[in-house]
Amino acid sequence: MAELVSHPDEVRVVSRRFGQGATNLDRYLELDGYKAVQKALTMQPDAIVNEVKNSGLRGRGGAGFNTGMKWSFVPKQSAKPKYVLCNGDESEPGTCKDRLIFEHDPHAVIEGTVIAGLAVGSHTGYIYIRGEYRYLLEIMQKAIADAYARGFLGKNIFGSGYDFDVYWHGGAGAYEVGEESALMESLEGKRGIPRIRPPFPAVVGLWGGPTVINNAETLASIPHILLGGADWYANLGPPKNGGTRLFCLSGHLKRPGVYELPMGYNLKKMIYDVGGGIPGGRKLKAVVPGGSSTPLMTPDEIDVPMDFDSMMKAGSMLGSGGVVVLDDTTCMVKFALRIMKFYQHESCGWCIPCREGTDWLKKTLIRFHSGGGLKKDIDNILYLSQNMLGRTFCPLGDAAAMPTISIVKKFRQEFEDHLEGQPCAFEKESKIEQLPVLA
Amino acid sequence: MRFSEQFESRFAEMLTHYPTKRSVLVPTLLYAQDESGSLSDEVIKEIAGRLELTELEVRNVISYYSMLTTHPRGKYNVQVCTNIACLLRGADELFEHCEKKFGVKHKGTTADGLFSLEEVECIGACSWAPAVQVNYDFHENLTTEKLDNVLDEYRRK
Amino acid sequence: MADINITVDGRKVTAAQGTLLIEACKSVGIEVPSFCYYPNLSLQGACRMCLVKVEKMPKLQTACTTVISEGMTVTTDSDEIRQARKSMVEMLLGNHPLDCPVCDAGGECELQDMTFSYGAAESKYMEPKNHKDEQQWSPVVYFDRPRCILCYRCVRVCGEAMDVWALGVQNRGVSSIIAPNQEDHLECEECGMCIDICPVGALTSGAYRYKTRPWEMKHVGTICTHCGDGCKTTLGVRRSDTGMEIVRGDNRDKSGINGDFLCIKGRYAFDFAHHDDRITQPLIRKDGRLTPSTWEEASALIGKRFADIRDHQGGQSIGVVGSNRTTNEESYLLQKFARIVLQTNNIDHHRTADFPAFAAGVTGKPESTASMRDVFNAPAMLLIGNNPSEQHPLLAWQIRNNVRLHRARLYVINSQEIKLRRQAANFVPIPEGTEGDVASFLAGDDSAIDTAGNETSDALKPLRDKLRSEQNLVIIFGSEIRGDDISSLVKFGSNIPGSKFICLGDYANSHGAADMGLYPNLLPGYHSISDIGIFHQERGGEIPQTPGLTLPEMVESAKADKLKAFYVVGANPVGRLGLDPFSFSQGFVVVQDMFLTQTAEIADVVLPAANAYEKAGTFTNTCGDLQLLKKAGEVNGTKPDFEMIVRIADAMGFDVRKLVPFGRGTRADMGQSRGAQAGEADRHAVWLEAHGLEPKMSPFDPMAILDEIQRLVPGYDVSRMDLQAGD
Ligand SMILES: Cc1cc2nc3c(=O)[nH]c(=O)nc-3n(C[C@H](O)[C@H](O)[C@H](O)COP(=O)(O)O)c2cc1C
Ligand code: SF4
Ligand code: FES
């Protein structure tokens, strides 16, 4: 069970019930549980969609698309059943927030899923939880069963005449399956290969039916928005970036942990104030602001508000809320390598640039870090990453390229320091992975 | 091929969750693996038959997912996350420690069949790094000493 | 469907709604490169070679997955695009073994071509390449993972198009690998489609690998001689000690009626040509044993004996058997030879489908026979009897793909659980042998299926209703349905607007053999013997007026010692019908064949025949399409049946001009056949040939008799230009 932390700047919305025993349905009801869905049952679907749209809630899965807007793309009439799919595949390195939601507040996810269903006229929801989160899957299984037992799910929910089923679904280890179309493939029992878009899931999704896909945190925010109102939620953050966000602080920090802070919270403050700064009197070197796929930022770049638009302007991305802090003992080449190892391992292999590009980048970085680097490799690494960018079948290729480009550009000197057989200055002893090198 | 009653009742229930049989495949494979240790040819045949898939299709799916395996693992699969957040907080040391302790490399199994070692990608414990998952259990904020204690517990079980 | 207007590279392009951008570009000759895109297979968007710039889109888009929309403005070539494509090739080459010098695909490789086009010559990586040893998956399929570019064409063609599903993708990321279920062993029909469709040398053919380079072969497009579907196959041939050896067969130019398709037989089944048992010299029985001899001796002997028997015992004491595997010209010539030279109507062949009944049924109904193309485009198909997946692979392919790509409805009535039932909207099993009853039932005779059981009739009744509501139905039936049952079926079909038929015959030229009149009672084109006038005119020879003997009757006649001579061309009645070889012991038996068949073993003279890959002529496929055969292989010492027949006629003292109208046509100065002017002469020759004017200066030229066939046989009047072009 993951430890909880707190900080005075926190604004607890999604994390309101953390640590309150809300996995217990009665306790959840005491804490305003299932009120929002009952309210939603009295509303017109369009009104729910508008409320969410106006709240400025943007997808917490990483891309930051306006959630209400996404729902509005679902056709009103559809010959095939419509579905709501909760993305709980949380696998982006640096991200560990959905885990807390499932652990402490599973009913909020269920409730959000039902409300999304009401908004788009669907009668079935699936909650997909990554395979490694077995204990969370079990919590969710129990929560769903409890909700059925009370008539909150199934036929005629809350006596409203509306039917809604929610099913759990477990993964089996694959980052790419978090990508929305690969997620649907996986749920349909296939390899997690993304689908060609268009058509987008909102039009043609699970088993061909229109499908709303949202991150678990996104869906868990929905009940609060309906109860608190769109204005209240929108005003928690800067314009067009409504609400709060679970930030997962990790790396070289005194007080790592998951904190709920308003959108637009200053990154520097987040590191030094909320996260307690860097231990051992060492200095900040770089920050991964939103999970491993976002471009890294240097200490002089971090005085920015953490919202989707400001981060974009600052040349990076808000991503999935995983803030990883690196101090000056970190070898940036090794860090770039570890990121690339991840993407190489997780690439589904479908398209050439991602499959081959990540593999070559990984190999080159291994050789580079082990002291076999040549000067031209630095440019080759850039060349390769830039040729992947924007040309892959799904955004995983971009996710691999972006941090790499930022590291090479911002820390080029460290690459040069590794040239011509020089041992890595950051390694205590030379215990680096060796690949045979052709001269 | 026999699975536990719990498996069977869950399998039967899952089939009612989806419009196609195939949709139960991924979770079913993982549950089957939990019971039989690995996805042997026999298990593959059985599941393919139940879901009206070819064995090839089932194999294609198995080989895609990193938690699924056709090779038996040790009783306790020690999965050390070495991804970025854990890396920054000493995951490499933990992994090397395990390598030495078990005398095996990545994906190796100790001679007594008790432990397997695996270097894994981010397991969602970044804020509590470094972390290790033994089978499905998380162990977080680890040091080599703490990990030793954890592993000793398993050994005693 | 409405047309959509787009602009590609500044040019206006109009195409039907729903067209893919890559196809719209192709329609005006703008080629967008691709590896994974393959027409009529599912879309992948995986190779990223087809990236183009679509105005208003920030990123480059894949032309293979983009559906055109009104007003779309597209650029297919720019520095950015070239760089994108170049980098894809560079990345692919990173792990590619670059073993082109020893690769079978070298010279015919799309990766080579793409590297050439985009100049990805510089090697940016020095890491060791990922390696995996080559695997042999089956006797004919080898797989070399390092060469594979993961375009997934093989997986799709095997699954979607062939309905075999033997290939899948194992692992993920850079470890992804195309694999059969058992890692080293394919469970499939060995069609070889995966090899053909592989753009590189990852899948190679066990029959061809490491034999030669593509540019060292001559490529001859001809017609496969293994079943009645008539697929085009391109044979790669090479000079050998014994003539011209066929090294491989494939459908590389995809211009035949079979498009992308070719089956195991068309692809691999030609090694029989160089079998050790092949006869390469005339054999004459001396002292009871077949002894090698010369052509002169053999022709003289046959000529003398045939003439003697005809002159002393009469033509009716000679029997002739033709073949389902010889060309139309040979069959035509054989019956003409029998009728006017041997003076007999005793001619027959191994009959398969009842083509005469079918011809009678559809006379006066123009447009009532369907082609393979119709099968691919029909909204609905009815299949009664036969198992096309095995007997007519191309037909099965057309049916399957029509169902898959056009959502056509397939209705199957069969006594076996044939594989095509998987594509069927409706499959009705019937008891064996009741196909004919079903035809009567369809035509309205409800009592015809009384004996078939309630289940069958309960299933057939709604099916008949459904069929009656169809339009443009293609009705395909096997040789189980014959005679009157064919007329019933035709009657049933006539009430369905636009319906067409296909009558399935077993062998490569069964249809042609029937059309050419290898019947004792029917002349070419199913004219009855009494209907003889036109033939008299044309031939200037007398044809006996009474119908001759059927093959079984000939055998009886031989037993009764009435049949004195037996001339068998490309058939093996003794082996096939299990005849008593001694039936013919009193007669003079001449056999033309490739091998010493059971029939040849009892012969007095055996002449070594060329097979259909070793001669020119035409074949008629089961749908009735006339197609040109080109000579590809050659085995020294053999001759085409055509030439042998002419030689025998000559040896009998017959004026061969009356048999083969050679020496007509235009005579042209063919000019130089080598050197600078050679092309000139070639172009003349092609033009002349296409217009049916090529000089037919030899009596052994089958084209010389094709004119006569085209004049006399209904349905054969296709233009030479079309015949030449193959469509
Ligand atoms: C490679 C890749 C991995 C992703 N992984 C996740 C994930 O683990 N969880 C998640 O919620 N979204 C993930 N996403 C984003 C989803 O595709 C999708 O945008 C998101 O689930 C939509 O929900 P939202 O609008 O609520 O953010 C991933 C995207 C990509 C390209
Ligand atoms: S970018 Fe391509 S290879 Fe990578 S995960 Fe996406 S589809 Fe798969
Ligand atoms: S042809 Fe378009 S991606 Fe391969």
Which CATH number belongs to the domain containing residue C52 in this structure? 3.10.20.740
Which residues, 6 or more positions from C537, have their beta carbon under 8 angstroms from its beta carbon? Answer: none
Residues C533 and C648 grouped into a single domain: yes
Per-residue tokens: C562: 């009435």
- Average pLDDT, integer, range A129-151: 98
Calculate how far, in angstroms, residue C34's C-alpha sits from the geometric centre of ligand 3: 5
The per-residue pLDDT for A2 is 78
Calculate how far, in angstroms, residue C10's C-alpha sits from the geometric centre of ligand 3: 23
The per-residue pLDDT for C541 is 63
Q: What atom of ligand 3 comes closest to residue C36's alpha carbon?
A: 4
**Domain contains C83:** no
Task: State the smallest CA–CA distance between residue C180 and chain B in angstroms.
Answer: 7
Residue C2: count of CB within 10 angstroms of its CB: 7
Cβ of residue B41 closer than 8 Å to a chain C Cβ:
no
Per-residue pLDDT for B57 more than 90? yes
**Domain contains C513:** no
A228-268 per-position pLDDT tens digit? 999 999 999 999 999 999 999 999 999 999 999 999 999 99
CATH number at residue C413: 3.40.228.10
Domains by residue range for chain B, with CATH? 5-64 (1.10.10), 76-156 (3.40.30.10)
- Average pLDDT, integer, range B65-90: 97
CATH number at residue C230: 2.20.25
Average pLDDT per consecutive 10 residues, chain C (727 residues; last block may be shorter): 91 96 96 96 97 96 97 96 96 92 92 90 83 92 96 97 96 96 86 94 91 89 93 92 89 87 90 89 95 96 97 96 97 95 96 94 89 96 97 97 97 97 96 94 91 86 96 96 96 95 95 96 90 65 86 94 95 90 88 96 96 94 94 92 96 91 52 43 61 72 87 87 74
- Mean pLDDT over all residues of chain A? 95
- Residue A212 — pLDDT band, cuts 50, 70, 90? very high
B98-111 per-position pLDDT tens digit? 999 999 999 999 99
SS3 C692: coil
**Half-sphere exposure of residue C550: CA atoms within 13 angstroms, side-chain side:** 4
- Average pLDDT, integer, range A179-204: 97
Q: Which helix (H) or strand (E) holds C396?
A: helix C393-406
DSSP 8-state secondary structure symbol assigned to residue A272? I
**Domain contains C246:** yes
Cβ of residue C181 closer than 8 Å to a chain B Cβ:
yes
**Counting ligands in written order, which one lies closest to the CA of residue A397?**
2
C519-547 per-position pLDDT tens digit? 999 999 999 887 776 666 666 567 888 89
A280 residue type, one letter: G
Residues C153 and C269 grouped into a single domain: no
**Domain contains C130:** yes
Chain B residue at shortest CA distance from C169 = B60
> How many angstroms separate the Cα of B107 from the Cα of each of A356, B71, B119, B155?
24, 10, 8, 19
> Which is it for the CA torsion A183, A186, A190, A192, positive or negative?
positive
Residues C302 and C396 grouped into a single domain: no
Question: Which of C52, C62, C197 is the best mutation target for the ligand 3 pocket, counting ligand atoms within 8 Å of the beta carbon and taking the most?
Answer: C62
Distance CA B66, CA A287 (A): 29
Residues C565 and C701 grouped into a single domain: yes
Per-residue tokens: C175: 């470890």
Closest to C477 in 3D by CA, of C511, C446, C439? C439
Backbone φ and ψ of C474, nearest 5°: -100, 125
A22-49 per-position pLDDT tens digit? 999 999 999 999 999 999 999 999 999 9
Cβ of residue B121 closer than 8 Å to a chain C Cβ:
no
* Cross-chain Cβ contact B56/C168 below 8 Å: yes
**Domain contains C515:** no
* Cross-chain Cβ contact C128/A380 below 8 Å: no
* Cross-chain Cβ contact C172/A363 below 8 Å: no
Residue C189: count of CB within 10 angstroms of its CB: 18
Calculate how far, in angstroms, residue A172's C-alpha sits from the geometric centre of ligand 2: 18
Q: Which helix (H) or strand (E) holds A212?
A: strand A211-215
* Cross-chain Cβ contact C181/B63 below 8 Å: no
Q: Which residues have any ligand 1 atom within 6 Å of their CB?
A: A 59-63, 65, 67, 87, 89-92, 176, 178-180, 213-215, 218, 394-396, 399
Per-residue tokens: C677: 């002017």
Cβ of residue B65 closer than 8 Å to a chain A Cβ:
yes
Among the partner-chain residues A191, A348, A360, the one whose CB lies closest to the CB of C91 is A360
Residues C360 and C411 grouped into a single domain: yes
* Contact residues on chain C for A358, CB-CB shorter than 8 A: 173-174
Closest to C566 in 3D by CA, of C318, C290, C335, C334? C318
Residues C378 and C500 grouped into a single domain: yes
Residue C294: count of CB within 10 angstroms of its CB: 11
Cβ of residue C172 closer than 8 Å to a chain B Cβ:
yes
Calculate how far, in angstroms, residue C541's C-alpha sits from the geometric centre of ligand 1: 86
* Residue C64, ligand 3, Cβ within 6 A: yes
**Domain contains C210:** no
**Domain contains C452:** yes
The per-residue pLDDT for C673 is 41
Protein fold of A25-234: Rossmann fold (3.40.50)
Classify domain A244-327 at the CATH class level: alpha beta
Residues C379 and C497 grouped into a single domain: yes
Closest to A344 in 3D by CA, of A353, A355, A336, A335? A355
Per-residue pLDDT for B18 more than 70? yes
Full domain range(s) for residue C228? 220-274
Q: How far apart are the first and last CA of chain C?
A: 26
Calculate how far, in angstroms, residue A176's C-alpha sits from the geometric centre of ligand 2: 8
Query: Is residue C612 within 8 Å of C326, Cβ to Cβ?
Result: yes
The per-residue pLDDT for A435 is 47
* Residue C237, ligand 3, Cβ within 6 A: no
Total tally of structural domains belonging to chain C: 5
Closest to A206 in 3D by CA, of A117, A137, A118, A115? A117
**Counting ligands in written order, which one lies closest to the CA of residue A356?**
2
* Cross-chain Cβ contact A387/C171 below 8 Å: no
Residues of chain A with CATH 3.40.50.11540: 25-234
* Cross-chain Cβ contact A93/B84 below 8 Å: yes
Residues of chain A with CATH 3.10.20.600: 244-327
B112-134 per-position pLDDT tens digit? 999 999 999 999 999 999 999 99
Task: Match domain A332-426 to its CATH number in 1.20.1440.230, 3.40.50.1820, 1.10.1670.10, 1.10.10.10.
Answer: 1.20.1440.230
**Of A188-197, A293-302, C111-120, C157-166, the least confident:** C111-120
Q: Which helix (H) or strand (E) holds C305?
A: helix C295-313
**Counting ligands in written order, which one lies closest to the CA of residue C46?**
3
CATH number at residue C136: 3.30.70.20
Cβ of residue B35 closer than 8 Å to a chain A Cβ:
no
* Contact residues on chain C for B64, CB-CB shorter than 8 A: 171-172
Question: Which of C50, C89, C91 is the best mutation target for the ligand 3 pocket, counting ligand atoms within 8 Å of the beta carbon and taking the most?
Answer: C50
The per-residue pLDDT for C708 is 87
Residues of chain A with CATH 1.20.1440.230: 332-426
Overall size of chain B counted in residues: 157
Which residue's CA lies nearest to atom 8 of ligand 2? A348
Instruction: Please give the ipTM for the structure prediction.
Output: 0.93
Query: Is residue C111 within 8 Å of C200, Cβ to Cβ?
Result: yes
The per-residue pLDDT for C1 is 62
Per-residue tokens: C680: 């000139």
Cβ of residue C173 closer than 8 Å to a chain B Cβ:
no
* Cross-chain Cβ contact A92/B30 below 8 Å: no
Chain C residue at shortest CA distance from A363 = C127
